[in-house]
Structure 1
Amino acid sequence: MDKLILGRYIPGSSIIHRLDPRSKLIAMFSFIVIVFWANNLLTNTIMAVFTLTVILLSKVKLSFFLNGLKSMFGIILFTTAFQMFFNHKGDILWSFSFFKITDYGLGQAGLIFMRFVLIICISTLLTLTTTPLSLADAVESLLKPLRPLKVPVHEIGLMLSLSLRFVPTLMDDTTRIMKAQQARGVDFGEGSLVQKVKSIIPILIPLFASSFKRADALAIAMEARGYQGGDGRTKYRRLAWGLQDNITILILILLGLVLFFFKAP
């Protein structure tokens, strides 16, 4: 549970914590777009320095970001290795059978690795400095222009907030079920790959059963309290866009212009 990042909020009073969640969402998606313009050493260095500066401004321990990277290490390693061994453009540096490492493939693998790391760090920063309810309110507020198109904006925000809220609960249930199965003699760490996959089934079935039971209880509780959706409802927490949010968006725009100017053709 200490390594759980998704849905986890670290209380604080830093300038990143005080930003409007809408500006943080817009900044994160803008960052994800412009990070693909970082295609050489200079632009990647600029992005790395910018990300490290934002992390330091948040006053959140670096261990949280390292845990976020660890959870995605398998995907990062697979994608990087695939790009490195199967990209045959450029001069060959090493080859064995159909595996080839070229200078171009090695460079592309480094770029993909940096993009993964930067995107995961910024996404982790968003969740660590923004409460799930504020994040859901921000999504609902940003999607309001789609309401005339019959898009269920409030329902989307509600689903997001409930999903983030129950991630730690599902992790607790998983830990409890695993301990109960281990007490009955189930070993999750030994055997072949097929046996390890089969050992997950005693976890998934009771986990799904408890999840559906909890969802049904939540629906009954909401109905008993007269929940009617977003029509006519007021907000207990109101979002306030301030000067610091305008400065944040301006900084992202300037960062995008710098990357576009210095990126390789």
Structure 2
Amino acid sequence: MDNLILGRYVPGQSIVHQLDPRSKLLAMFIYLLIIFWANNLVTNLLLTLVTLAMILLSKVRLGFFFNGLKPMFGLILFTTLFQLFFTRGGAPLFEFGIIKITDYSLAQAALIFTRFVLITCASTLLTLTTTPLSLADAVESLLGPLRRFGLPVHEIGLILSLSLRFVPTLMDDATRIMNAQRARGVEFSEGNFLQRIRATIPILIPLFASSFKRADALAIAMEARGYQGGDGRSKYRQLSWARRDSLLIMLMILLALSLFLLKS
């Protein structure tokens, strides 16, 4: 829990850090759309190489990056097991009761696992190299044309910014609550599966309580300072689209065409 890096920002001067947040957000959307075209070994290998290249260009240490994703890998593996055990079709490889593993379910489980890992890596890289405020500004800028239809664009950007900002804070709160419960004799790693689930209840209740208290305090602080978003509000940070941002979008379109041609 202490090493979880999803939602955290790591300052840097790499080319990925210097990209306009709008281009990174658009590239992320394209990535999420085309990742479902990767349905064989070649296409998944191509996506893996592209993702690894972006991580290397960000100059984030690979050990730091993947150690921070270990808590997420457990959840991904747990989700993949359902795909492995309960997908029907194909030649049977192993069968025990209602659990049946076939060659088709094994291939589907590997595909789902790869997709979840790539999506997690890409979204984590986005938050590691982009501040929450920049992401909020990017969302507000990209959704700007929808303002004429009554969409609260600024409020959506603000909600996104606050959500990303408080992910690490919630993780820190959860860690403190777990340490306090351990000091009172609660064990989270002992017993069967149901006992471990019951042991999480003393974490969830105070975590929800502290979250609501923090949200209320934030709302009061913003109101006391006269916060008012939307039209007429100036911006300290000005977004600037450069040639490298156009190149990134062109590369993502080229990647999309390559996956479309190589997919099964």
In the other structure, the counterpart of 1:47 is: 47
Contact 2:7–2:124 under 8 Å retained in 1: no
In the other structure, the counterpart of 1:105 is: 105
- Relative to 1, partners in 2 of residues 1:27 and 1:196: Cα closer, same or farther, differing over 3 Å? same
Q: Deviations over 1:43-76 (max 9, x none)?
A: 1121111111111111111134323542222332
Distance 1:145 1:47 in 2: 32
In the other structure, the counterpart of 1:78 is: 78
SS at match of 2:240: coil
Distance 1:102 1:196 in 2: 30
Give the counterpart letter for 2:137 in structure 1: D
Distance 1:262 1:52 in 2: 20
Give the counterpart letter for 1:8 in structure 2: R
- Relative to 1, partners in 2 of residues 1:166 and 1:110: Cα closer, same or farther, differing over 3 Å? closer
Of 154-163 and 125-134, the range deviating more from structure 2:
154-163
- Relative to 1, partners in 2 of residues 1:145 and 1:195: Cα closer, same or farther, differing over 3 Å? same
1:258 aligns with 2:258: yes
User: Structure 2 stretches of 5 or more lacking a match?
Assistant: none
SS at match of 1:163: helix
Q: Deviations over 1:67-107 (max 9, x none)?
A: 35422223322333233333332223333334333222222
Contact 2:5–2:168 under 8 Å retained in 1: no
Q: CA deviation at 1:198?
A: 4.2
TM-score, with structure 1 as normaliser: 0.89
Contact 1:68–1:124 under 8 Å retained in 2: no
Contact 1:177–1:206 under 8 Å retained in 2: yes
Give the counterpart letter for 1:32 in structure 2: L
SS at match of 2:244: helix
CA RMSD of aligned residues (A): 2.2
In the other structure, the counterpart of 1:152 is: 152
Q: Deviations over 1:231-256 (max 9, x none)?
A: 21011111111110100000010011
Contact 1:68–1:120 under 8 Å retained in 2: no
In the other structure, the counterpart of 1:242 is: 242
Contact 2:15–2:57 under 8 Å retained in 1: yes
In the other structure, the counterpart of 1:26 is: 26
- Relative to 1, partners in 2 of residues 1:202 and 1:142: Cα closer, same or farther, differing over 3 Å? same
Distance 1:179 1:172 in 2: 11
Q: Deviations over 1:135-189 (max 9, x none)?
A: 1111111111221121111111112212222223333333333334444444444
In the other structure, the counterpart of 2:58 is: 58
- Relative to 1, partners in 2 of residues 1:208 and 1:96: Cα closer, same or farther, differing over 3 Å? closer
Q: CA deviation at 1:194?
A: 4.8
Q: CA deviation at 1:197?
A: 4.0
SS at match of 2:46: helix
1:107-126 equivalent positions in 2, closer than 5 A: 107-126=107-126
- Relative to 1, partners in 2 of residues 1:191 and 1:138: Cα closer, same or farther, differing over 3 Å? same
Distance 2:162 2:65 in 1: 24
SS at match of 2:248: helix
- Relative to 1, partners in 2 of residues 1:48 and 1:213: Cα closer, same or farther, differing over 3 Å? closer
Of 38-47 and 91-100, the range deviating more from structure 2:
91-100
- Relative to 1, partners in 2 of residues 1:82 and 1:224: Cα closer, same or farther, differing over 3 Å? closer
1:127 aligns with 2:119: no
Percent of residue pairs bearing the same amino acid type:
70
1:164 aligns with 2:164: yes
Give the counterpart letter for 1:132 in structure 2: P
Contact 2:6–2:69 under 8 Å retained in 1: no
Give the counterpart letter for 2:204 in structure 1: L
